[in-house]
Amino acid sequence: MADAKAAALDSEADVEESAEGASEQPKSKFKLPPMKFLIIGAAALMLIGGGVGAYFFFFAKPHEPKAEASHVKPAVFVDLPEILVNLSNPSADRTQYLRVKVVLELPEQKMIDQITPIMPRVMDAFQTYLRELRPSDLDGSAGLYRLKEELTRRVNVSIAPARINAVLFKEIVVQ
């Protein structure tokens, strides 16, 4: 029994020492809330943020400045003379020809006066490019699209700094 009393006295001494050590450490004034409340708060914050984001994404209209009665200018078209060239095909027995009727789409009427004196340069650019084409270059819609884009690029280079909107085909014949 003496051993039990001694053990009890030792444990009481340990408790007193731990209480003294605890009293020496400063107590924090800020106490964290339980983890459950932190998770609920974070979820509520995400839900509110998502609702606000959805509102702005789906329902809020951006403020667009009102344009003054702007009317669209009609495009201006200029016909070019018909072009007839022989295609480059060194392995073929017969010569193949390309006949093209082209229209230039201009953004303004006053550009006609700018382009008319430069038209020989535009026709030269067309002739030199079209003579290098092979019949296989014109196959399918992709071939015609590449031809249209390349002709547009060459016209814009020839008439720089002015620019055209597009080159339009009236007629294309390969024979």
- The answer on pLDDT for 3 being more than 80 is no
Return the domain boundaries, the chain. Answer: 34-61, 76-174
Radius of gyration of the chain (CA): 42
Q: What pLDDT digit, counting tens, does each position of 24-35 carry?
A: 555 667 676 788
Q: What is the mean pLDDT of the chain?
A: 81
Q: Which listed CATH number (3.30.70, 2.60.40, 3.30.479, 1.10.3210) goes with 76-174?
A: 3.30.479
Separation CA 73–CA 109 (nearest Å): 10
Q: Which tokens sit at 33?
A: 């809330």
Candidate ranges 13-17, 64-68, 116-120; pick with highest mean pLDDT: 116-120
Residue-level pLDDT at 55: 85
Angle between helices 119-131 and 140-158 (to 10 degrees): 140
**52: which residues sit within 8 A by CB, 6+ positions away?**
none
Query: pLDDT, tens digit, for every residue of 104-143?
Result: 999 989 999 989 999 999 999 999 999 998 888 888 899 9
H/E stretch holding 83 reads strand 83-86
